[in-house]
Amino acid sequence: MSPALKDEIKQQKAFESLEQEAQLSIERTAAVLGHAFAETLKPYGITSTQYNVLRILRGAGKAGLCRNEVRDRLIAQVPDVTRLLDRLEEAGLIERERSAEDRRLVSTRVTADGLALLRSLDHRVAETHKRHLGHLTARQLKTLIDLLALAREQV
């Protein structure tokens, strides 16, 4: 059996409630998995949020998405999506184009370089997911996914 969160974080007293223990366990798990995932991306010079943007834009295809659509699809909320997109554009991984019909609309697309980076990461990312969660059975993974979705419903 895995060590209890209390032991893992070397907490001396009991948690105030099961809800508190569950919340802290979710946060600890997200931090551990997030750090390990960031290490996978580090040699490629991008963050997990930048990777998420590139994947979102790859999925959007040639039409691209406006800034707010990208923001709404991100896994983690970020305070300044414009600056995030600026950095990706400076790196040549995305491009933005203002609409001729409505100058307020700016479409963002992944570039050929961005697609090449994603292709080079696809296998490594899949291996990372397998390494981190492959010890769980399909049934356990489905239960975990369902429980996490249920927890998010109340927020």
The count of structural domains within the chain is: 1
When pLDDT is cut at 50, 70 and 90, the band that residue 42 belongs to is very high
CATH number of the domain residue 99 falls in: 1.10.10.10
Q: Which domain covers residue 38, as residue numbers?
A: 17-153
Whether residue 99 has pLDDT greater than 90 = no
Residue 129 lies in a domain: yes
Contact 24, 5 (CB under 8 A): yes
**CB atoms < 10 A from the CB of 19, how many?**
9
Residue 124 lies in a domain: yes
Query: Angle 112-133/18-41 helices, nearest 10 degrees?
Result: 130
pLDDT of residue 54: 98
Residue 3 lies in a domain: no
For the chain, give the mean pLDDT.
93
Residue 73 lies in a domain: yes
Whether residue 3 has pLDDT greater than 90 = no
Residue 2 lies in a domain: no
Residue 4 lies in a domain: no
Residue 56 lies in a domain: yes
**CB atoms < 10 A from the CB of 33, how many?**
14
When pLDDT is cut at 50, 70 and 90, the band that residue 154 belongs to is confident
Task: Please tell me the pTM assigned to this model.
Answer: 0.89
Whether residue 104 has pLDDT greater than 90 = no
Residue 36 lies in a domain: yes
pLDDT tens readout for residues 44-94: 999 999 999 999 999 999 999 999 999 999 999 999 999 999 999 999 999
When pLDDT is cut at 50, 70 and 90, the band that residue 22 belongs to is very high
- Return the SS3 of 97: strand
